Structures are given as structure tokens and as C-alpha cells.
Structure 1
Amino acid sequence: MTTLDVRGRRTGRPLIGSHVFLLVVTVALLAPVVWALLSAFKPADEIVRHPLVFDPAHLTLANFRGMFQDVPLGSGFVNTGVVLVCKGAITMFFAPLAAYAFAKYRFRGQNLIFGAVLLTLMLPTIVLIIPLLLEMKELGWVNTYQALILPGSVDAFAIFWMRQVIAAVPDELLDAARVDGCGEFGIFWHVILPAIRSGLAGLGVLTIMNIYNDVVWPVVAASSSRMATLQVVLVTLAQNISGHKVGADYATITGELLAAASIALVPLLILFIVLQKHFINGILAGSVKG
């Protein structure tokens, strides 16, 4: 492979440097993931004594058996699934709807309201935790699905993302639909949504990843083990994994942690492998305004 210089002439220099750089970055990103997956099948003491050595002859499922006995991973998956479906559905419906209003309508105070929405992006999550927790307490929603689902279900980033995508849809399509007698919500449903499928796919993948990996708010809003999401289970695993195993050592805890983390990683890997094309197209759709 050859490259062209600024004058369009072939330089004859292969892109070896770029390929080597990308290979190094790929290895650096994947190495911790591969190590965690392989180490989950190693004996617990071997993980601590020889963390970088992997002997296929010593494969074991002991870490997984111990983890399933001590960790409520099943309830964590169920709670995460409920929150993911409900909160994701709210985000994927109301965020494009709000973005449609900002992108295609003109009303008094539009820029001021949209600026206020974007301003919330600058607020650290930790600043909002205490007010939200007090609100959940007044509503009686602490340790309930409502507390896990409703706060932050329509965030400013999702609205901004979809506004950029919807703004690229030609206004002529909307005018043609109005001439044909289509109502405003009908235009959104039958014209806008089919035209922004790539952007919706990208937002969907990001939404799933954000909800699946969220830990700060679920730790505060759902302190009981009954309502703990998967990430909360993983975060608190080191503290409560020895609850039924008196004298559990560091190696055992480490092995079970890696086993639980490996299982939690599988859904996201499958999601990205299956939807990577839509994710990339969605990123491109939301990065430019036509």
C-alpha cells in the first residue's frame, strides 16, 4: 500500500507505522479483558502467586461455583434487566420527542430552555445525589424500581444527540407530510423516526451501556441487597462475599470477583459485536449536522 503526499504524488511508503500503532493500542485495550477472562478459570491461589501465567492443564470452575454460592448474581441481573428495559424505553421515546421540538419548532425562549438543558451536563453527578435522595425519601421510593428508573431517564446528552440528528432531516419531508394531512405526532412517528434510525441505534447502544454500567446512583437509591443491580453487586462483592464463608482469604475473594466480572462482561461484549455496525453509523449520524 502506498500513500500520497500533499501534491498528490505517490510516496511509496507503506502505512506500517499506522498499523503498528493501532495494533499496540488494540493490544493495550484488550489485554486486561483477556487477562480477567482467563484468570477466572485459574485456581484462586495461582491468580495471586502467578498472575501472568496461564496453564491450560489447571483449568477449573471452582471460582464460578464459589461465586454462585456466595453472590446474588441472579437477582442483580434481574434488577438490572428491569431497570434497563424500563429506563431505556423512556429514554428512547422521550429524548427524540424533546429533540424534535428543539430541532424543528420555533418558540419563545427556545434557546434559553435548550441552554438550560445543556447546562445540566456540566453538573457532576455527585452534586445531584443528595437532592435526589431527599426527593426519593419524600416520595417513599427509596429501595424501589421507581428510584432506579425515573431519575435521569431523559438526560441532556440524549436530547442533544438526537437534536443534532433530527436537525439534518429536510424540512420539506415534514411539509409534505402536513400537506397530506398528517398530524404533528404522526410526522414524528412516521417521518422523523424512520429517517433517524442510525442515530437511534447509536443512542440505544450508549443508553444500554450507561444504564448497565451505572453504579453511583443505584448504590445510593437501592441500598438493600434485594434491589441491588448487577454493578452494585460487583462493587460490594469484596465486602460481602465472605459473609457465609468464615475465614475466606484474599485469593478466594479475588477468584470469585474475576468470575463474577467475567459473567457481567459477556452481555456487553455480545451487544457490541452484534450492533457494532449500527453503533458506528449512529456515532457518525450524531456527530455532524447536515
Structure 2
Amino acid sequence: MSRNRPGIGQYVLLTLLAIVFLYPIWWAVSSSLKPAAEIIASPLSIGELTLDNYRAMFADVPIGTGFLNTALVLLVKGGMTMVFCPLAGYAFAKYDFPFKNVLFGVVLLTLMLPTLVLIIPLLLEMSALGWVNTYQALILPGSVDAFSIFWMRQTIAAIPNELIDAGRVDGAGEFGIFYKVVLPVIRPGLAALAVLTTMNIYNDFVWPVVAVNDTEHQTLQVVLATLAQNVTGNRIGADFATVWGELLAAGSIAMLPLLVIFVLLQRHFINGILAGSVKG
């Protein structure tokens, strides 16, 4: 027990690392509460606190629309990922069917394709379907992705086959076994997948900026990317400090949802990552 107890040196090292990683977040939030001129004049000092940057940002940028669109895409697309990818992973892990290994190899091969290679074919497909500038274009592509299937397959493969056979002996159907036997066991892996999926969808920029070119369907990341242009376009004579103040205000608001989600699910997320790294 004493041999495994962290020493004071480890605590000091972890504290220093925490300060290094948390300082940029603290600086961004504290700077967003300063007058715009002070952000440039004295970036490391804390002076007068004001909400002017936030008021101006909400007036100049449709960040509320970006949040609503991102929440909708996250709810529907993330829900599809969390439903279909565990089912596909369960099939690859516990069922035998013709060409199973070939199909799983094809799924893994898609991981090697860069996102930029797929943009033009996907955009042409969306155009042929008439889905450009629609929520379908934001939600359906990538809703069942190769990494999530691979992650679930590896997680479910660690479940003993005897546990599933016991469910069949008790008279449970295949979906009943998946729901009552498999899902409770892989809950840490599902939590890790939920966090990773949320981060990927929330931070996605390349595909939304290509698939949507109207303000009605813009996601949060697209709104943030065009923030400087919107500020200078909506306010005549807006200087560099004003743009920075509103950028920091928007960035501080945008990072809050991910921080809350990670804090709430961090125990399950860490357990899921560790479970996937250990082969029992």
C-alpha cells in the first residue's frame, strides 16, 4: 500500500502540469471580462471587470443560432452513433457470418481515408439529393463512423461468451441479451464513446462549412470562425482590440458545454479508456 502511494514529488509535478494546462483557460475567461483596450495594453493583468465584450458579441454575432444548430446536430447525430455503432460492434464481436472479417477490414480501411478526400464526393451526393443547406447534410454523413464501430467491437469482444450463452439459456432474445447483458457491462466504454462523439461533433468545422453556406443552418464552429468578419462588418471602425474581446467572449462561452460534459462523465470516460487498453 505504501509503495503505491504517490510521493510529494508526484503531487508537485501534477500541480505544475495542472497549472500549465488550466492557465490558458483562465486567461481567456479573465481577458474576456476586461475592457477591449486593456486586453492589448496589459494582457497579463486583471483590472476592471466588465461584460461589455459579451454584450457586444451577442449583438454582433448569431451565436445563439449556432448553439441551437449544434445542439440539434449533436442530439440527433450523436444519438444515431450511440445506437447503431454498439449494435454493429456487437455483431462483429459476437456473431459469425459470411465475409465478417472482410467487412470489418473494409470498415478499418475507411479510417485511413483523410477527411478532405471524402468532402467532394459527399458534397456531390448531398447536391444530388437536394440536401445542401439542410440539417440532413449536417447529421447523416458520419453518423455511423468506422472508429465508433471499431471501439465498440473491441469493447464488446472482451465480454465472455459464456455470459451471452447464459442469457440465451434463460430464454432471452438477441436484442434482450444486448440490452440486459451487454449494455450494462460496456457502460464505461459507452461513456467514453459518448465523450469522444460529443467532442468530434461539437468541434467539427470542415464539413459544416462546406455543406452549409447560409446563416440559418450554421453550427457554432462556423459562427466562431466568421466572428471577426461579422464584427468588423456590423460595426464601422471596429479595431483589433474589439475583435479580440468578442473572440475571447465567444470562445469562453463555447468551451463551457464540453467542460461540463467532461466533468460529469470523467470517471466513466477514464474507466472506459483504461478498459479498452487492458486485455483481460
Q: Does 1:150 align with 2:132?
A: no
Q: Does 1:22 align with 2:14?
A: yes
Q: Deviations over 1:229-263 (max 9, x none)?
A: 11111111112222221111111011001001111
* Structure 2 unmatched runs, 5+: none
* Maintained 8 Å contact 1:164/1:288: no
Residue 260 of structure 1 is aligned with which of 246, 250, 257? Answer: 250
Task: Note the aligned Cα RMSD (angstroms).
Answer: 1.8
Partner amino acid, structure 2, of 1:231: Q
Q: Deviations over 1:121-152 (max 9, x none)?
A: 11111111111111111111111110000000
Once residues 271 and 2 of structure 2 are traced to their aligned partners in structure 1, the CA distance between those partners, rounded to angstroms, is 28
Q: Does 1:40 align with 2:32?
A: yes
Shift of 1:3: 5.2
TM-score, normalised to structure 1's length? 0.92
Q: Does 1:202 align with 2:192?
A: yes
3-state SS of 1:243 partner = helix
Shift of 1:270: 1.2
Shift of 1:107: 2.0
Aligned equivalent of 2:44: 52
Q: Decide which moves more: 89-98 or 187-196.
A: 187-196
3-state SS of 2:194 partner = helix
Aligned equivalent of 1:85: 75
Partner amino acid, structure 1, of 2:148: A
* Maintained 8 Å contact 1:164/1:287: no
* Maintained 8 Å contact 1:148/1:218: yes
* Maintained 8 Å contact 1:42/1:54: yes
What is the correspondence of 1:77-156 to structure 2 with a 5 Å cutoff? 77-156=67-146
Q: Does 1:183 align with 2:173?
A: yes
Once residues 46 and 224 of structure 2 are traced to their aligned partners in structure 1, the CA distance between those partners, rounded to angstroms, is 24
* Maintained 8 Å contact 1:141/1:147: yes
Once residues 29 and 229 of structure 1 are traced to their aligned partners in structure 2, the CA distance between those partners, rounded to angstroms, is 27
Aligned equivalent of 1:11: none
Aligned equivalent of 2:56: 66
* Structure 1 unmatched runs, 5+: 5-13
Shift of 1:288: 2.9
Aligned equivalent of 1:169: 159
Residue 233 of structure 2 is aligned with which of 240, 243, 251? Answer: 243
Once residues 110 and 20 of structure 2 are traced to their aligned partners in structure 1, the CA distance between those partners, rounded to angstroms, is 34
Paired residue total: 280
Once residues 112 and 43 of structure 2 are traced to their aligned partners in structure 1, the CA distance between those partners, rounded to angstroms, is 40
